[in-house]
Amino acid sequence: MTNSYSKDRENVISGITTFDTIVQQHIGNINANSSMNAFLLLNDNAIQSSKETDKRACSLSSIDGINIAIKDNISTKGIRTTCASKMLQDFIPVYDATVISRLKQKGAIILGKANMDEFAMGSSGETSYFGATDHPLFSGYVPGGSSSGSAAAVAAGFCHAALGSDTGGSVRQPAAFCGVYGFKPSYGRISRYGLIAFASSLDQIGIFARDIDTVSLVFDSISGEDEYDSTCSRLSPSDSFSNVDNSIDYHSLTIAILPENELLGLSQDVRKVYDTTIQSLKKAGCTFKELSIPASSAWIPTYYILATAEASSNLARYDGVRYGARVNNDISQDMTTASRSDGFGKEVQRRIMLGTYVLSSGYYEAYYKKAQKARRVIVNGYKSIFDQADLMLLPTTPTAPFKRGEKSSNPLEMYLSDYFTVSANIAGIPAISFPAGYNDQGLPIGLQLQATFNQDEKLLHLTKQIASLIV
Ligand code: GLN
């Protein structure tokens, strides 16, 4: 096992190892590090699938035999899918999410279900009903969230790749904290069918891997139109791995960066990595242009108003009757209240209450409607940025990974850690976090690249070139 999908695959083809051995090694590794709490469940069929893949080792398809972890809010037929919530602790879906059926069809091996913040609400992996995920390299620190287990599993070498979901940064932020790649595609490029909804207009399934080629391979395998998701793009599946457009390269790039006053909250260590990266790219010939994404003071409020409003509606189905664990069998309002009070954790309840409030008739105009207007301003702002620049470079997070418990009693401070990630979801554009350096303690720091809507392939190609210049 080499920790790289392409190398492991070559070794299988040349007879040095087998997929069966690789899966067993990954599982051994996960079990030996169970205190990290990266997985909520391991797939009993993984070893059987690997044996079948070994039988066709001479004619492998693009992602055949890849060992992949799945965030536990993506439905897997016959395999428990909990959203890391007490509410769904016994939920076994009767169908696969589109991404899962596409992965299976192409020979991917689903290794298990990854831990996460409850219902994908969080930035630290601490709100899981099944216990927090530990940082894969620095025990006692948070791995980021909400796709905490997916990021930790990839960084720890427990799998080749992982799927997560990104509503306001939940793929990019934990990727940055764990030192791996985390890609959130344009809204609609990957079907959301079977992704348990948090905030439907912001949710996107995203991909984690330790190298960009693996991100591309997985993206190409799961993207594309889906009749089960009407918000899914009509564009054909991406072809980012084999169809590299060599006419675009970093020498002649114009990269947008935020003006100084929008970077004030940046910690010194992130700032240092950010500045060094810009210097290296300038030396390589890139041109930088200061352009601001409008309404910076409104990014976080807009996100938290829209996300909580949509969440309050999406989570209404968990009433102990249609979905979710039932606490009290008396069919009355008490049963619903009791089930929801018992099944949802504190953060989820906080979001539902906030969402219900901003949608209530007296406050709708003041909050929800205003947030929709701010969303339009941000979308238009990005359009103007990408008329003037090829890409935008931003920090992924304002700080390096923090200690467990450091922000969990202060929701506002936790929410501010999403400052640089939420605008991409608000605008629906593609964004990726790439490993860009470390602080003095050795904690990973990631930076983020964004591109205009539906230029996902271009973003992946350029990220590969840019990352090779700074490593
Ligand atoms: N940290 C953000 C939140 O708690 C983002 C979550 C996400 O992207 N799923 O809402």
In this structure, which residue's CA is closest to atom 10 in ligand 1? 121
In this structure, which residue's CA is closest to atom 4 in ligand 1? 122
Query: Over the stretch 307-362, which tens digit does the pLDDT of each residue have?
Result: 999 999 999 999 988 899 998 777 766 888 999 999 999 999 999 999 999 999 99
Domain boundaries in the chain? 5-240
Cα 240 to averaged position of ligand 1 atoms, centre (Å):
27
- Gap between the Cα atoms of 278 and 470, Å rounded: 9
3 pLDDT above the threshold of 80: no
Cα 359 to averaged position of ligand 1 atoms, centre (Å):
20
Does ligand 1 have an atom closer than 6 angstroms to the CB of 81? Answer: no
φ, ψ dihedrals at 296, nearest 5°: -55, -35
Does ligand 1 have an atom closer than 6 angstroms to the CB of 220? Answer: no
Cα 169 to averaged position of ligand 1 atoms, centre (Å):
6
Q: Using alpha carbons, list the distances in angstroms from residue 117 to 203, 313, 345, 402.
A: 15, 19, 10, 16
Burial (0-12, 13-18, 19+ Cβ within 10 Å), 417: buried
Q: What is the mean pLDDT of residues 30-50?
A: 97
Q: Using alpha carbons, list the distances in angstroms from residue 143 to 148, 195, 282, 337.
A: 6, 22, 31, 33
Q: Using alpha carbons, list the distances in angstroms from residue 439 to 137, 179, 269, 404.
A: 13, 12, 6, 18
Query: Over the stretch 189-215, which tens digit does the pLDDT of each residue have?
Result: 999 999 999 999 999 999 999 999 999
Q: Catalytic amino acids?
A: 71, 146, 170
- For domain 5-240, the CATH class is alpha beta
pTM exceeding 0.75: yes
Does ligand 1 have an atom closer than 6 angstroms to the CB of 122? Answer: yes
Ligand 1 atom index nearest CA of 170: 8
Reading the block at residue 24, the tokens are 């067993």
pLDDT score of 471: 63
What is the average pLDDT score of the chain?
Answer: 95
Find out whether 42 and 138 touch, Cβ atoms under 8 Å.
Answer: no
Query: Over the stretch 439-448, which tens digit does the pLDDT of each residue have?
Result: 999 999 999 9
Q: How many CB atoms lie within 10 A of CB 104?
A: 16
Which of the listed residues 71, 124, 146, 299 should we mutate to test ligand 1's pocket, taking the one with most ligand atoms within 8 A of CB?
146
Query: Over the stretch 144-191, which tens digit does the pLDDT of each residue have?
Result: 999 999 999 999 999 999 999 999 999 999 999 999 999 999 999 999
The DSSP letter of residue 195 is B
Find out whether 39 and 112 touch, Cβ atoms under 8 Å.
Answer: yes
Reading the block at residue 45, the tokens are 């069929």
Cα 184 to averaged position of ligand 1 atoms, centre (Å):
13
Torsion (CA) 7, 10, 16, 20 in degrees, nearest 10: 80
420 pLDDT above the threshold of 90: yes
pLDDT score of 58: 84
The DSSP letter of residue 197 is P
- Gap between the Cα atoms of 455 and 421, Å rounded: 18
Q: What is the mean pLDDT of residues 246-266?
A: 87
- Gap between the Cα atoms of 6 and 121, Å rounded: 33
Query: Over the stretch 259-299, which tens digit does the pLDDT of each residue have?
Result: 998 898 899 999 999 999 999 999 999 999 999 999 999 99
Does ligand 1 have an atom closer than 6 angstroms to the CB of 314? Answer: no
CA 367 to chain centre: 27
Ligand 1 atom index nearest CA of 198: 9
Query: Over the stretch 93-149, which tens digit does the pLDDT of each residue have?
Result: 999 999 999 999 999 999 999 999 999 999 999 999 999 999 999 999 999 999 999
pLDDT score of 52: 96
Find out whether 374 and 295 touch, Cβ atoms under 8 Å.
Answer: yes
Find out whether 169 and 148 touch, Cβ atoms under 8 Å.
Answer: no
Find out whether 279 and 288 touch, Cβ atoms under 8 Å.
Answer: no
- Gap between the Cα atoms of 317 and 324, Å rounded: 8
Does ligand 1 have an atom closer than 6 angstroms to the CB of 146? Answer: yes
Write the single-letter amino acid at 356. Answer: T
Ligand 1 atom index nearest CA of 425: 8
Q: What is the mean pLDDT of residues 413-434?
A: 94
